[in-house]
Amino acid sequence: MAFAVAYSLFNTINHILNHDEFPISVYGKQQIGRLQEKVASLLDFLEDFKEEGSRLERRIRDAANEAEDVIEHWMHEHIRSTAAGLATDVEYDLGELNMAMQEINSIAEEVEELIQPNREKLQSSPTPTPAVERMLQSSPTPTPAAVGLEKQVDLLRVWLLDYPAISISGMGGIGKTTLARAVFEDEQVVNYFHVRVWITVSQNYQIESVFEELLFSLEKQVEKGLVNECDTTEHKLSQILMNNTYLIVLDDLWSREALRDITKVIPIAENGSRIMITSREEGMVSYDSATEHKMGLMDERVSWCLLKQKVFGSRECPSELEKIGKDIAKACKGIPLAIVVAARILSQTNQTQSSWKELAPNMRSLIVEDAHFQSIIYLSYADLLHPFRSCFLYMCGFHDNYEIRASMLVKLWMAEGFAGDQSDAEFCVREIVRKNLASSTAMKGNGRIKSCIVHDLVRDVFKIKAIDENYERRFSNSHLDLREVARAYASTMRSIISFQRNESSLRGLRKFKLLRVLDVVDTDAYALPAYVFDLFHLRYLAFGCPMEVPSAISRLENLRSLIIRPRKKSKKYKYSRDEVYLPLEMWMMPLLTHLVSFFDLLPDPEGAASPLQTLVTLSVVKKLICTEEMMRLICNVKKLSITYFGERYQQDYQLQNLALLSRLEKLTLVVKEGSLLQLKAKPVFPEGLTKLTLGGWRFPWEDMKAIAALSELQVLKLRDHAFQGHTWNTNEECDEEVYDKYDGFVDKGKVFVSLGYLLIEECDIEKWDTKERHFPRLRHLVLKGCPKLNEIPSGIVCMLKLELIEVDRANVSLLKCVQENQKTRSISGRELKVGEL
């Protein structure tokens, strides 16, 4: 947390020094500049000296929080005073800042004393440490018994015949080591391999010790004299492994660097030898012929079986304890480690109904407060880069079973100052999921994460961590009345996401002067309180529809994201005809980056507006007239979603001007409720589109030529009769114009050259003719609501990169055709997955 707070302070100072609206004297700027230099040195210290930094984290965090509070309170008061025609006492505020700077200067001096001896230590060669806890062990650390893993063991046993390297991944405590040990000791596996070695790598491995212990174990399993005593350890290892069929398990692997170090002496042999690793990180093994098995949570039945075994062993569970025991097992949420902790707690009490009843309601809190459980879960958090830790704690503020959209996280983290730009924030989402601190719940067509969730018990553990880190002073994700939150944290709170249904809860907002994030979508309010528009620091504002948007919105000078969503309880849909009009003052918000307004009409600029240069997201705008002037005003938009309503074509929406949006990457065009717009409107698509969604247009399939020629298009979604007609023949799209476009960088005759995901939903197509070369990169095909389509084109099945076809189970003939083609692909050695919708 210290890193994130210090980083936020650094950016806040940058904002002051680089904006003219803050009239600071030259002396004042020098003082603030010196503070920024000190903060920069502390950031470097926290990043480069993690062990030493951990001892000073609390002091750095508190000092940075104090300094940023002083600065932002001054900024808020300065703007308010300026608006009222009053002067701001700059010198007084700098005096307060000097008091905060004294602690930062003191910490910086202490840091310098710590850094110097460490610099000298780094210049000398590190002394190899002995093998910690015998990294090569005859048996791994005791883990939950292999209950309910039979099918997974069978699968991995088969995989050992097919893949030279197998990775078992999953969150901490999920049972990776248990599964690997069950495979390692499987009778068939034991009989197949000449030698087997188990290495527990862990985070603080020493490669020399790993090699020595590996050799020690191997030499006990092979004939004496096989290696020359004069050879190096690495050469001896290579000699033994080259002459034996081996299985090496690398348990608890934490980095690709460790894998590369260890496998330098392990030959990738053709004799059936295998490597199996366990890791909390996904994608650890990058061999072309490797595979990965991600472990999931235990179901309730298996959880109860494991709990019974750990508590009673071979004895029967008393019948009066069974129902309570099942409830306790359910509270463990499918994590084997949690079940083991619960079993230990139950084993230490009387095995009576009254004792178990007393424990059951508190079992969840007892598990997350268990020191061993916390230490195992914390390891993944400690492995995160410093800037990502606060991002993860932010995720843990959401309530149980809350699926968080990745796009929402990106905007929130940027508003909070945890991520510098969208790319950094998106990378952070991927890293948190890759390290299995969160799980993806939905994926986008381009393979990126659409939404994710933090496991309930993991979230509870890090809520404790957040309190310890003093994090609650910055973020409230509350079901409570905001007035209660205000009494404790009004002067320091930066983010509020409220699930409070009561409109009166918004009255407490008056006191939150430093807010950067405000999300009140799920309140019952139909208007935002006037004082919300005095929140100078606000960067992210989300509220529910319908709600009035006053002209005062333009006073939020720092607002980056404005989101107007339907309330969950209203059950209104994305393309509802309800309207909430945005004021003309929307064109006076130069920093606005994301405008997501599911029910709004974009106000007519009336010729007086300036371009929204920073606007990159505009979604969903209704009946947008794409004049050349409008395209100029939103010239940098990367994501645009437009919906058209109406029973007849009323005016020219000038969709040919969409081609002027040269930066546009994602476009959604939807026609609803019987509009005749499609009879006259012909959109012209920008060449750089990577994602296109069309709905309701009823274009003839011949018009697909323009889309087939988009060389950057990766995702294509055709919904609600976007195209209509008996036959889609992609051969007709390979005309000379397409040939000329691609000549020189792809083979002639290829169309949809970059398309990886194709969805056809609600369509009357009966026949689809295509060739393999027409979709050279297609990985994922979805056919839903296409009742007249009875077979899949042979050209699609032949595509080497196609991995998954999803088909509506109601279309029996099409599903059968796809499954038969799946068998054909399996025989040829090219696996094809089939999903039923």
DSSP assignment string, 234-249:
HHHHHHHHHTS-EEEE
Which pLDDT score is estimated for 235? 81
| β-strand pairing of 517-520 with 540-545 | parallel
Q: Given a cut of 90, is residue 55 above it in pLDDT? A: no
* Poorest-pLDDT segment among 200-214, 346-360, 440-454, 462-476: 462-476
Read off the pLDDT of each residue in 586-591 and give the average, rounded to a whole number: 88
- Range with lowest mean pLDDT among 198-212, 426-440, 691-705: 198-212
Which residues, 6 or more positions from 499, have their beta carbon under 8 angstroms from its beta carbon? 399, 477, 478, 479, 522
Note the pLDDT of residue 382.
87
Q: Among candidates 473, 469, 515, 415, which has minimal Cα distance to 8?
A: 415
pLDDT digits (tens, 9 = 90+) for 715-772: 999 999 999 899 998 876 554 444 444 344 444 556 888 999 999 999 999 999 887 7
| Least confident interval from 43-57, 445-459, 588-602 | 43-57
Predicted confidence band of residue 458 (pLDDT cuts 50, 70, 90): very high
Q: Tell me what pLDDT residue 92 has.
A: 47
Q: Place 226 in a pLDDT band, splitting at 50, 70 and 90.
A: low
22 or 784: which leads in pLDDT? 784
Q: What is the pTM of this model?
A: 0.82
Instruction: Please write the tens of the pLDDT for every residue from 156-170.
Output: 998 988 888 899 999
3-state SS of 362-431 is HHHHHHHCCHHHHHHHHHHHHCCCHHHHHHHHHHCCCCCCCCEEHHHHHHHHHHHCCCCCHHHHHHHHHH
How large is the average pLDDT for residues 780-792? 92
pLDDT of residue 122: 40
- CA separation for the pair 593, 118 (Å, rounded): 44
Q: Is the pLDDT of residue 679 over 60?
A: no
* Of 308, 349, 302, the residue nearest 325 (C-alpha): 308
| Averaged pLDDT, 420-440 | 93
| pLDDT at residue 181 tops 90 | yes
Tell me the mean pLDDT in the region 818-827: 78
Q: What is the pLDDT of residue 735?
A: 47
Q: Which residues contact 793 (CB under 8 A, 6 or more apart)?
A: 768, 769, 770
Per the prediction, the chain carries an average pLDDT of 81
C-alpha span between 149 and 309 (Å, rounded): 14
- State residue 744's pLDDT score: 41
Contact between 331 and 364 (Cβ < 8 Å)? yes
pLDDT at residue 831 greater than cutoff 80: no
The larger pLDDT score, comparing residue 55 to residue 613, is at 613
Cis peptide before 683 (omega within 30 of 0): no
| pLDDT above 80: residue 784 | yes
In whole angstroms, give the CA distance from residue 816 to residue 811.
9
Span 563-569, mean pLDDT?
70
pLDDT for position 133: 33
CA 606 to each of CA 122, 365, 579, 624: distance values in angstroms, whole numbers, following the listed order: 65, 59, 20, 14
Distance CA(509)–CA(478), nearest Å, equals 13
Rounded percentage of the chain residues whose pLDDT exceeds 70:
81
Q: What are the residues whose beta carbons fall under 8 Å from the beta carbon of 822, sequence distance 6 or more?
A: 805, 832, 833, 834
Q: What pLDDT is attached to residue 85?
A: 57
Collect all residues with Cβ–Cβ distance below 8 Å to 89 and sequence separation of at least 6. none
Place 411 in a pLDDT band, splitting at 50, 70 and 90. very high
CA atoms within 13 A on the CB side of 700: 5
- Residue 781's Cβ-side half-sphere holds a number of Cα atoms within 13 Å equal to 20
Q: For residue 573, what pLDDT is reported?
A: 42
Residue with the bigger pLDDT between 466 and 769: it is 769
The residue type at 673? E
Rounded Cα distance between 259 and 624, Å, is 54
Please write the tens of the pLDDT for every residue from 236-295. Answer: 888 788 888 899 999 999 988 888 888 888 876 567 889 999 999 998 887 767 889 999
Handedness of CA 771, 775, 778, 781 (dihedral sign): negative
Counting every residue written for the chain, the total comes to: 837
831 contacts: CB under 8 Å, gap ≥ 6: 803, 825
pLDDT, mean of residues 431-458: 93
In this prediction, residue 374 carries a pLDDT of 93
Q: Please tell me which residue, 35 or 548, carries the higher pLDDT value.
A: 35
Q: What is the dihedral of CA 412, 417, 418, 424, to 10 degrees?
A: 80
| pLDDT (0 to 100) of residue 510 | 80
Could you give the CA distance from residue 805 to residue 827 in angstroms, rounded to a whole number? 17
Smallest CA-to-CA distance from 60 within 114, 96, 17 is with: 114
Cβ density class 122-144: b for 16+ within 10 Å, e for less: eeeeeeeeebeeebbeeebeebb
Cross-sheet strand order for the sheet of 195-200 = 195-200, 246-253, 274-279, 165-169, 291-294
